[in-house]
Structure 1
Amino acid sequence: MVRNLLIVDDNPADVRYTVEMLNEAGIESDRHVVGDGVEALRFLRRRGEYADAPRPDLVLLDWYLPRKDGREVLAELRSDERLADVPVVVLAGSRLEAETLRAESKAADAYAVKPLEADELRRFAERLGGARRLA
């Protein structure tokens, strides 16, 4: 169950589409959106205006972000013992790119191609949304 979902994406059209697919998939959650890697880390660490932010049950992380890219966000997230178990789905621009990212790094819980479809979001929510990382 995904109670709190963090979408990290700098493209408003992609965010709107993701929200539409979440609705189509029947995933009822509080959805939080940030547009770059620095804001993502501030949200996750509950800093500044995010001091009262909930801990996400799932993060949808675009790989290409301004200020700090997905690789940097994921590395910092996994190195922080308080956040290392937050489930993350990395979003890539193509299937080849997703496969390359998966081969280079095992840090994410899953890799997917944007735009995500409703069925795929539902599977991620069911598989990752209520579970914490074991490694």
Structure 2
Amino acid sequence: MATEGGQSTDPIDILLVEPNPGDSRLFEENFRDAKLLNTVHIVDDGQSALDFVHQRGEYSSEPQPDMVLLEPQLPGKSGIDVLSELKNEPALNEIAVVVLTSSDAGEQIVQSHGLEADAYIQKPIEPEDFVEFVQSIEDFWFAIVQKQSQ
């Protein structure tokens, strides 16, 4: 990823792993409204998330994401399983993972499995809180890019 003056010059690919279609739509709309330079891809379960990051099957032509926004409560393969694979596989562990929690307990649950995400961000409850949420995702991304370029 090229950086110029500490700011990313390329759009980033964000993979949102979110089983709730209403939340997915709110995420998508708010990212678009914020006019961030990124592309949001959405899958609704853990297996699809892993297929996406590995670029397997129907996701073979998709880009490997720069960041994964991961809801830990997923149908089938859990968010914990997805995080474990992302963090323990060398080809994938450069992908930034933000675990979306509904409370402080969510962070503790992930950590109790001996795993560590790059960040934990509380999922907004109210639609109007999504703007602030999107800003926190953008701030987190710029912090990573700046750290890598130093």
Structure possessing the higher radius of gyration over alpha carbons: 2
Contact 1:57 1:129 in 2 (8 A): no
Q: 1:42–1:107: structure 2 CA closer, same or farther, 3 Å change rule?
A: same
**Cα distance, 1:120 vs structure 2:** 1.3
**Cα distance, 1:20 vs structure 2:** 2.5
Structural RMSD (CA): 2.1
2:90 aligned partner: 81
Is 1:93 matched with 2:102?
A: yes
* Over 4 Å off, 4+ runs: 129-132
Q: Identity, % of aligned pairs? A: 36
Q: In the TM superposition, what are the counterparts of 1:47-126 in structure 2 within 5 Å?
A: 47-94=56-103, 96-101=104-109, 103-104=111-112, 105-115=114-124, 116=130, 117-126=133-142
**Cα distance, 1:66 vs structure 2:** 0.6
Q: 1:51–1:61: structure 2 CA closer, same or farther, 3 Å change rule?
A: same
Distance 1:18 1:110 in 2: 17
Distance 1:19 1:25 in 2: 10
Q: How many residues align?
A: 131
Q: What stretches of structure 1 of length at least 5 have no aligned partner?
A: none
